[in-house]
Structure 1
Amino acid sequence: MADVAAPPPPPQATEELPPPPPQGTEEVLPPEPPLAEPPREYAPAEQEEVPPPPSSAVTTTTAVESELLEKPPPAHEEVVVSVDASKKVEPPAEPQKVPQSFASFKEESNKVADLSVPERKALEELKQLVREGLNTNVFVSKQTPEQEAETGEASVSAGEVSIWGIPLLKDERSDVLLLKFLRARDFKTKDAFVMLRNTIHWRKQFGIDALVDEDLGDDLEKVVFMHGHDRDGHPVCYNVYGEFQNKELYQKTFADEEKRTKFLRWRVQFLEKSIRKFDFNPGGICTIFQVSDLKNSPGPGKRELRIATKQALQLLQDNYPEFVAKQVFINVPWWYLAFYAMINPFLTQRTKSKFVFASPSKTAETLFKYISPEQVAVQYGGLSVDNCDCNPDFTVSDPATEMTVKPGTKQIVEIIIYEKCVIVWELRVVGWEVSYGAEFVPDSGEFSVNIQKPKKMSPLDEPVVHGTFKVLELGKVLLTVDNPTSKKKKLLYRFKIDLLGD
């Protein structure tokens, strides 16, 4: 990096940016994700298609999008979206496109019937090697009685070998597990068998089964945590490296070899608990969607962190094959992007296809491509709040509607009410810098009722606004967002109706 005198600024118009370097360079980088996989040769995958947002109660009754795409909107143009509160219909989904500059990784099927002939042959060959290994006890760890006492693991007899709770060769779940090792070694059967054997030996030596139940404290619960699912059902794991800006936490975690060893054990324990929630059934979910937040991430000068990261990365690459569906890096600093732009030509297609990079201004937009807003944590632009009673009317199972508020445009969401009820809603504009207001307009022609006078919202305001109104006559609730800025804004909202008795 010393020979790069003036790195270029970060790209401003792309969500997916150059991916991380191969293994030999991680010691000069910020922390790698806890499930990073080693790069390997792979044919370009199909272009990934991201599913549209989930259904909600929204019906668009005006068509202005095509005109807005052809010419800049005039100042304060009004765009009205009408919603029938009594119906549940498919929303008008905005097109979700992955940039064409990258071939996005497409998860392979774990169903034997979907495998190619060479892949099925490799799987049968691996199963035969495993069968022979079980009969000859090659999976039994060569430990002394003293070592077995220390690790809490005793030698097992033939036919009793399990990994992640899946007995080898007992049922079709074993095929799913073996496919992970095959794919990690490009379907080279002998290499996959050696990896599997070494992993089983390592698990015994590391004392994995005892580690799962060990109390390692909760100091790092804000550093790595699970929150929600992506649009394909993968659990989402967040890695928040900025937490290590806390000097006390950093010293407590990495100051010496003993502390780094405890950190490594905590990291493995967290991963083991996550994996054991998978059922490993063919066609099911058995991979994790990872989000790594690099905001305020310690730079490459932190020696202790580099050592711990390198140890963890090597261990995870050797013993946890193919457990990552996608790696999304958010709040990426410009110097990180500049470095990857230089090494991008040297990376394999498979490695590049699994990684997505987003600069701070593109973080929420990029996450929404893969995770619906109601599943994205509030601090990352979404609507999901864990362990909070601040708005018990909504949960992650309540779908939100996404729309774009174009520059110089006033967006009005018109919710038509046909019965007496109490309506509750929540709304956010990512980044705000807009005016928000709400009113009720009765069908009788009487004066409208101000629910929320137009208020200029700043990025420092509460990320999500909540509203409620008791409707005693037919009419419509208008939620208005006025965007005076030169930037388009992402609007999210959802509502519920509680009918009143006569």
Structure 2
Amino acid sequence: MESSQATTEPVPSPNPATKRSLLSSLMEATAGATAAPTALHVSHSFKEDCYLLSSLKLAELKALQELQQLLAVSPKPISIWGVPLAPSSAAAAGDERAVVVLLKFLRARDFDAGQAHAMLLRCVEWRREFGADEVAEEELVGFKELEGVVAYMHGWDRWGHPVCYNAYGVFKDKDVYDRVLGDADKLHHFLRWRVQVMERGVRLLQLRPGGINSIIQVTDLKDMPKRELRAASQHILSLFQDNYPEMVARKVFINVPWYFTLLYAMISPFLTERTKSKFVIARESNVAETLYKCCRFIRPEFVPVQYGGLSRPGDLQNGPPKPATEFTIKGGERVNLEIDGIEGGASITWDIAVGGWDVDYGAEYVPSDGGSYTIIVEKTRRVPATADEPIHNVYTAREVGKMVLSIDNTNSRRRKVAAYRYFVRKPCT
């Protein structure tokens, strides 16, 4: 049995704050206010950090050399994430990964070599005490229900950065909260699991000049219980700021409630322009548009289904996913996607996702023989905004013809982003 594309591609018819204490106090101050509209914030000044020596300023090169000299006199070998950092050691000589790691610590301390050195030594000590080098391989008991829900690595963005999703809405359930975070021991165990997720993400990085050296963080704020998670949030923030410097290329906040927009406006003056350039803040209606259309971050086949994408749990374990095609549906527009050249006996599989939904959808098969009747494959139905799964269907054609997928947005004035993919499996010969 042979798998292939249809002969023609279907086309739409023309028809983090500087000070944690400030962040905590602002969250507390806004906890009792009333709802207000939110807005989409996207910084267009973003420029990813470069780790090529030729791109550094003279002062930055000097700071790097000073840090290397400070490490050279260390009586013990120093390494982080498997990268030896002492320039005098045989292992570190010529290892370009060391430059990347050292520049991360230097940037976290504004290229102050002394402060970066102290931060690096504290990180090494924490990793030794915490057992961070071993945690990625541990089987941590009690976190099965959190895997793929609370914090997880899933896919890559368009430039190859691994993407880490964070969603803490599950903790609004008091039983779940008590079971996972109910006391100091449970919190410590949870932090170990959260560090495990981060360590596995770091292992996906190249840590080489010109390579992929940071991840994308997507944080879902829907239903997040602010007060209950304050202690855990502060611990996570402190651990990552102190021990994983400059590991995040972009910080994308989705399903943003009104108070977060207010919070961001209040703390924005305290943030550097470089920090603010990494933030993307999107209200609930903009999730799919933000993740794979508006800012062109992540392709639809890598976006989880709950965020308007086509990727279901476990999909990426079977190799690279089939690429999807993106398109836009204008307000008041109806789009027909046509899959032509289908042979009799062929099987057609398709997936469709529309950001924000609230559209009418239907599918029909149109035989090439003018004497045959059009077959209704899926009756036209309304897909609500609350739909949390993409449309997925399979149809086996009895005769030569084409599949027509209809998406009707005529009852809305709002432009919507959408994505689809399909493949046709030829009949057995």
Indicate whether the TM-score tops 0.5. Answer: yes
Q: 1:245 to 1:117 in 2, by over 3 A?
A: same
1:27, 1:307 within 8 Å by CA — same for their partners in 2?
no
1:105 CA displacement: 2.5
Q: 1:388 to 1:372 in 2, by over 3 A?
A: closer
Indicate yes or no: 2:62 matched with 1:113. no
2:42, 2:280 within 8 Å by CA — same for their partners in 1?
no
1:100 CA displacement: 9.2
2:351, 2:422 within 8 Å by CA — same for their partners in 1?
yes
Distance between the aligned counterparts of 1:268 and 1:485, measured in 2?
Answer: 44
Match of 1:28 in 2: 25
1:441-456 equivalences under 5 Å are: 441-446=366-371, 447-456=373-382
1:213 CA displacement: 4.3
1:130-279 equivalences under 5 Å are: 130-133=71-74, 137=75, 158=76, 160-168=77-85, 169=87, 170=92, 171-219=95-143, 220-221=146-147, 222-279=149-206
Distance between the aligned counterparts of 1:260 and 1:233, measured in 2?
Answer: 33
Aligned partner of residue 352 in structure 1, secondary structure: helix
Q: 1:298 to 1:288 in 2, by over 3 A?
A: same
Read off the aligned partner of 2:376 and give its amino acid letter.
N
Distance between the aligned counterparts of 1:322 and 1:460, measured in 2?
Answer: 36
Deviations 1:40-78 (A, max 9, x none): xxxxxxxxxxxxxxxxxxxxxxxxxxxxxxxxxxxxxxx
Indicate yes or no: 2:365 matched with 1:440. yes
Distance between the aligned counterparts of 2:309 and 2:389, measured in 1?
Answer: 9
Name structure 1 gaps, 5 residues minimum: 1-18, 32-98, 138-157
Deviations 1:84-128 (A, max 9, x none): xxxxxxxxxxxxxxx897344221222223333333333223222
Distance between the aligned counterparts of 2:264 and 2:405, measured in 1?
Answer: 43
Tell which deviates more after alignment, 379-388 or 450-459.
450-459
Q: 1:20 to 1:119 in 2, by over 3 A?
A: closer
1:462 CA displacement: 6.3
Match of 1:289 in 2: 216
Indicate yes or no: 2:409 matched with 1:491. no
Match of 1:350 in 2: 274
Match of 2:232 in 1: 308
1:281 CA displacement: 2.5
Q: 1:22 to 1:357 in 2, by over 3 A?
A: farther
Indicate yes or no: 2:351 matched with 1:426. yes
Read off the aligned partner of 1:28 and give its amino acid letter.
S
Match of 2:308 in 1: 381
Tell which deviates more after alignment, 453-462 or 256-265.
453-462
Q: 1:457 to 1:107 in 2, by over 3 A?
A: same
Deviations 1:159-198 (A, max 9, x none): x322111112311111111111111112222222221122
Q: 1:104 to 1:205 in 2, by over 3 A?
A: same
Indicate yes or no: 2:310 matched with 1:410. no
1:30, 1:306 within 8 Å by CA — same for their partners in 2?
no
Q: How many residues align?
A: 387
Q: Which TM-score applies when normalising by structure 1?
A: 0.71
Distance between the aligned counterparts of 1:452 and 1:307, measured in 2?
Answer: 49
Q: Which TM-score applies when normalising by structure 2?
A: 0.82
Tell which deviates more after alignment, 192-201 or 464-473.
464-473
1:123 to 60, 64, 71: 64
Aligned partner of residue 404 in structure 2, secondary structure: strand
Distance between the aligned counterparts of 2:312 and 2:42, measured in 1?
Answer: 34
Aligned partner of residue 370 in structure 1, secondary structure: coil
Distance between the aligned counterparts of 1:388 and 1:372, measured in 2?
Answer: 14
Identity %: 45
Distance between the aligned counterparts of 2:319 and 2:360, measured in 1?
Answer: 26
Distance between the aligned counterparts of 1:182 and 1:296, measured in 2?
Answer: 37
Distance between the aligned counterparts of 2:245 and 2:388, measured in 1?
Answer: 41
